Amino acid sequence: MSKMQLSLPEEFDFNLNLEFLKRSPRELLHQVENDTVLKALKFNDEKMLCRIRCSGKTLIVEFLNGEPTSSAKDWIRAYVQEWFDLETDLKPFYALAAKDKLLQPLVDKFYGYRIMGQPDLFESLVWAVLGQQINLQFAYTLKARFVEKFGERLFWNNESFYLFPTAKLVTTLNDDVLLPLQFSRQKSKYTITIAEAFASGEISKEKLAGLPLVEAKEQLIKIKGVGNWTANYALMKTFRYPDAFPLEDAGIHNAIKNLKKMDRKPTLDEVKKIFKKYKGWEAYATLYLWKSL
């Protein structure tokens, strides 16, 4: 069995990040088994099943269903680095957090926890839309139904491993097939609209790469169904813009209320005032506040 190794930064805790990946038993796009994660990936026409585990300060990626081409290996290396956010130097964030009453206990407790990303921008946006105004576990149920019905699969050891449906395929869907999965009409419409924007080339990860946050957000918000929260979420999870964070998010407000022992939720202005101190690290501040819940 062939494999590749990736060096890990000092501030990295594999088990904490694995915990995040185990959030739902309904997740179909990866499987966590003991201390490893299995994930199907596709590069051009190559479908690969990867098993990822940690050994000391090294992440080991094993290829279970054959030897990928060298181009596919390069692509997988970049994907895994993005997925686990291995390129971000957390030292400046931890230095800032050490002086902050709200964050200091959280970074001590969850040291090495990173933003587990979604390198696929299309998946990121659709997932954000699916999660709107419903609880997290039902969002996972919707995603599982969607992936199982329309995603490609890879068979290995009598098991199915799934890939997220492609934008091209999703453009061929309609209410007749999505509503029976318990999509609302709105979620159905927005999912297809997002797919059309990707399939037509109007939007792509490559087109947004390197743009300032405001410009990238403007491009995304042009798509019907992508509002401020959805755009910020996708930019945070796919591109890791440090200042892309969903300010209106109920989780942030609840975390601040709990940690500050307030008898009410903070106002938007109070949240903005707190986040001013985290300039440049808003996304990571958000991650640790969410983790406190």
Give the per-residue pLDDT at 24. Answer: 92
Over 80: is that where the pLDDT of 25 sits?
A: yes
Domain 121-239: which topology?
Endonuclease III; domain 1 (1.10.340)
Give the per-residue pLDDT at 152. Answer: 97
Q: Where are the domains of the chain?
A: 3-87, 121-239
Give the per-residue pLDDT at 58. Answer: 98
Do 49 and 156 meet the contact criterion of CB atoms below 8 Å apart? yes
H or E stretch covering 39: strand 36-43
Average pLDDT, the chain: 95
The CATH superfamily of 3-87 is DNA-3-methyladenine glycosylase AlkA, N-terminal domain (3.30.310.20)
**43-91, pLDDT tens digit by residue?**
999 999 999 999 999 999 999 999 999 999 999 999 999 999 999 999 9
Over 80: is that where the pLDDT of 246 sits?
A: no
Give the per-residue pLDDT at 133. Answer: 85
**255-284, pLDDT tens digit by residue?**
999 999 999 999 999 999 999 999 999 999
Compute the distance between CA of residue 39 and CA of residue 50 in angstroms, rounded to an integer.
Answer: 5
Give the per-residue pLDDT at 150. Answer: 98
Confidence of residue 1 (pLDDT cuts 50, 70, 90): confident
Give the per-residue pLDDT at 63. Answer: 98
What lies within 8 Å, CB to CB, of 273 at 6+ separation is none
**118-139, pLDDT tens digit by residue?**
999 999 999 999 998 889 899 9
Tokens at residue 62, please?
């094993």
Three-state DSSP class for residue 23? coil
**197-235, pLDDT tens digit by residue?**
999 999 999 999 999 999 999 999 999 999 988 998 899
Over 90: is that where the pLDDT of 250 sits?
A: no
Instruction: Name the least confident of 156-160, 184-188, 237-241.
Output: 237-241
Over 90: is that where the pLDDT of 243 sits?
A: no
Confidence of residue 245 (pLDDT cuts 50, 70, 90): confident
Taking phi first (over 0 means left), then psi (-120 to 50 degrees means alpha), and beta for anything else, what does residue 44 get?
left
Just list the catalytic residues. Answer: 249
Give the per-residue pLDDT at 141. Answer: 96
**Which one, of 145, 105, 101, lies nearest residue 126 by Cα?**
145
